[in-house]
Chain A
Amino acid sequence: MPKKFIDKKEALTFKLVHRSQRDINYISEEGDVSPWVLEPKIETVRMSITSSFRYLTTDKERDYQKAERIIPSLPEEVFASEESVVPQTDVRELFFEADEDIVQALEGESEEEEAWEEIDDDFVSQANKGNFDYGPSTRTVRFGDEMEEDEEDDDDYGEDNKFRVEVKRSTKGQSAQRKIFEETFETMVKKYDDQFIGELDEETGRKEGGIKLEDMEDVFDEYLAKENSDRHTIKGKENEYGLDPDTDQFESGEEDEELDAPIDPSDPNVDVTSVKSRRSVKTFGTKSTSRPTAVWDMCIQKYLNEEYLEKEERERKAAVALEEEDEEEKWDCQSVVKNHPGIIIEKTNRKIVLSNKSGLPVGVLPQKPKRVVEEEEEEDRENKGTKRDKEETKEDKKNRKKQIKEERAKSRLQKKALKEAFKSEQSQQQSQITPTTGIEAQVWIALGVVPHLVSAVVVP
């Protein structure tokens, strides 16, 4: 293949759009600035088809790299400018009937700012200079006077104080490059769900174990008892670690009165288990390194032995275990028998029955496959709306009508054939079931039933 003129992967695509009215360069009078602008086109490229969905993605990073290369090489006027300008407005245009004070206030040129702070109670009458008239007619007259005043004043104020709003909002106007950059960011952010953006939640659910402190109470008892007995035997070792042999604490250690005092179980304020646990734990820091894990080990042992479970729970668990055992080893009478290997036997309980008509055994010889009626396509029956040519000659009309008639005749014949087929089939089946000759037939007749007319007999 010959080399492509433009490789899409290396090229940037733009759309030609009208320049925004808020663009700084939007000056329709001057000729050198074009009213058109190149705006980058964000292309979606189907990157892969995976399982049941296709996702449209863009290679944004590459787009940005391309942009960095290509855009600076093009003249600036071709792109929309970054800065935007709100078109200028003159306040006087907006408020034709404005009071001088208001205009002054807007323009910010009032020197007497103190005058604004204090308003007397009768400021209305003061404003109207004593003439207080609500009538609309007088009002216009009034305004007429004021307007004349304003016009005179206008010359004084002149063009220096034209009220101009120039807002440079760099957030609105964007250069082409910046736009691509923002698109890149947006696609990246979209990868993350809302819940994953932002700080981590403080409470992501407290994790708790299944063992209650109370269950371990006897463990703590055991441990503490053991420790107390040991204390008197391993004195030497304690001295080695700098412990005070009498109090079992570091020389500089703190004394905890609450923990060391004897526990009064009847005291409601004291949580016996927690005190015991804390005592046990406290020994961690004071005993030698081999001992601190003792409490922990004992707790673990107890957990493993499941002693901490309450009695009922334990029994329940045992019961479940028993049940499972039973099922595994249960042997059924039938399963026992079935599992014994035996000889392969072909057993048939059916008696050989001869058919009345042919004398051959029924259900033994292969049956001839019945002739299947040719199924015509159903679609032919649909009316697809064949147009009737407007300029149809008589012959054409005849032909068309003839065709339709033929089709109808054909379908009639088919219908008849189908009906006949059904009837014959039914009668065949009937004759196979009900006997027409022989002893059985006589029995039927005696009962008052005519065999060949037994169409009321339902064929199972």
Chain B
Amino acid sequence: MASAAVAAPPAHKPKAGYEQTEEEQSFHRIRITLSSRNVKSLEKVCADLIKGAKDQRLKVKGPVRIPTKVLVLTTRKSPCGEGTKTWDRYEMRIHKRVIDLHSPSEVVKQITSISIEPGVEVEVTIAQSN
């Protein structure tokens, strides 16, 4: 029947115009994981998603920022071993954001029609809450 998500605030009242009843439609718990090397485009996509979800009056958990992973490669600058030992430090930063939603089936379509920037990888995990 109703979803048993503990995170739902108990004092949540349906807003005016919020006509969907949970019995009619099967709600899905959706977790969207966005990852990218580029913060700006990532934040943009995040904002779009959340805005879209709020327009649909869905329960959204705002973008959770997972600590960025810094992949570092330290190498000697010199091709031979001679000279003062100087080192190069290359790094790649991976940013990750997680958005949680509760949405009925039809709205899942809307998720896929957001504009996504190049370089942002989107993963969607769907579970049924029946």
Contact of A350 with B by CB under 8 A: no
Which residues in chain B, 105-130, are within 8 Å of chain A measured between CB atoms?
A: 105-106, 108-109, 112-114, 116, 121-128
Name the segment of B23-31, B36-44, B88-96 touching the other chain. Answer: B23-31
- Given contacts A5-B5, A6-B29, A16-B116, A11 and B105 within 8 Å (CB-CB): no
Complex: A143 Cα to B124 Cα, angstroms: 58
Q: Are B126 and A3 in contact (CB under 8 A)?
A: no
> In angstroms, how far is the closest chain B Cβ from the Cβ of A33?
8
B125 partner, pick from A13, A69, A74, A384, beta carbons under 8 A: A13
B73 contacts partner chain A, Cβ-Cβ < 8 Å = no
- Given A16-B116, A384-B85, A388-B84: A8 and B108 interface contact (C-beta under 8 Å): no
B31 to chain A, nearest CB (A): 5
Cross-interface CB contact of B123 among A13, A73, A74, A384, cutoff 8 Å: A13
Q: Do B109 and A12 touch across chains, with their CB atoms under 8 A apart? A: no
Note all chain B residues with C-beta closer than 8 A to A70. 28, 126-128
Q: Are B84 and A7 in contact (CB under 8 A)?
A: no
Q: Are A7 and B124 in contact (CB under 8 A)?
A: no
Does A73 lie within 8 Å of B116, measured CB to CB?
no
B31 & A5 in contact (Cβ 8 Å cutoff): yes
Give the number of residues in A that approach B within 8 Å (Cβ atoms): 31
What sequence of 0s and 1s flags, for each residue 1-22 of chain B, a beta carbon within 8 Å of any chain A beta carbon? 0001111000000000000000
Taken together as a complex, chains A and B put the C-alpha atoms of A319 and B87 apart, in Å, by 77
Q: Which residues of B contact A11 (CB under 8 A)?
A: 29, 31, 125-127
By a CB distance below 8 angstroms, the chain B residues around A41 are 123
Are A5 and B126 touching (Cβ within 8 A)? no
Residue pair A383, B105 in contact (C-beta under 8 Å): no
1/0 per residue, CB under 8 A from B, across A1-20: the answer is 01101111011111110000
B100 in the interface (beta carbon within 8 A): yes
- Decide yes or no whether A385 CB sits under 8 A from chain B: yes
Interface band, chain B: 20 to 34
Q: Contacts A38-B112, A384-B85, A385-B86 given: A14-B124 contact, CB under 8 Å?
A: yes
A8 and B85 within 8 A (CB)? no
Please report which residues of chain A, range 1-48, place their CB below 8 angstroms from some CB of chain B when the two chains form the complex.
2-3, 5-8, 10-16, 34-38, 41
- Residues of B within 8 Å of A8, CB to CB, are 125
CB-based contact B122/A15 at 8 Å: yes
Contact of A12 among B5, B87, B126 (CB under 8 A): B126
Residues of A within 8 A of B6 (CB): 2-3
User: Which residues in window 19-66 of B have CB below 8 A to A?
Assistant: 26, 28-29, 31, 61
Q: Does A75 touch B at the CB level, under 8 Å?
A: yes
Which residues from A are CB-within-8-Å of B5? 3, 5
Q: Is A77 an interface residue (CB 8 A)?
A: yes
What mask results when residues 66 to 94 of chain A are scored 1 for a CB within 8 Å of chain B, else 0? 00011001110110000000000000000
CA distance in complex: A69, B28 (Å): 12
Find A385's partner among B4, B26, B85, B122 (CB 8 Å cutoff): B85
Partner of B26, one of A13, A73, A78, A383: A73
Q: What are 25 A-B contacts with C-beta separation under 8 Å?
A: A2-B7, A3-B4, A3-B5, A5-B29, A6-B127, A7-B127, A8-B125, A11-B29, A11-B31, A11-B125, A12-B125, A14-B124, A14-B126, A15-B122, A16-B112, A34-B112, A36-B113, A70-B28, A70-B127, A70-B128, A73-B26, A74-B28, A75-B105, A78-B109, A78-B112
**Contacts A7-B127, A12-B126, A73-B26 supplied; 18 other A-B pairs, CB < 8 Å:** A3-B6, A5-B5, A5-B7, A5-B29, A6-B31, A10-B128, A11-B126, A13-B126, A15-B121, A15-B122, A15-B124, A34-B112, A35-B113, A74-B105, A75-B108, A78-B109, A384-B85, A385-B85
* Leading 9 A-B pairs by shortest Cβ distance: A385-B85, A11-B127, A34-B113, A16-B122, A36-B112, A34-B112, A13-B125, A14-B124, A3-B6
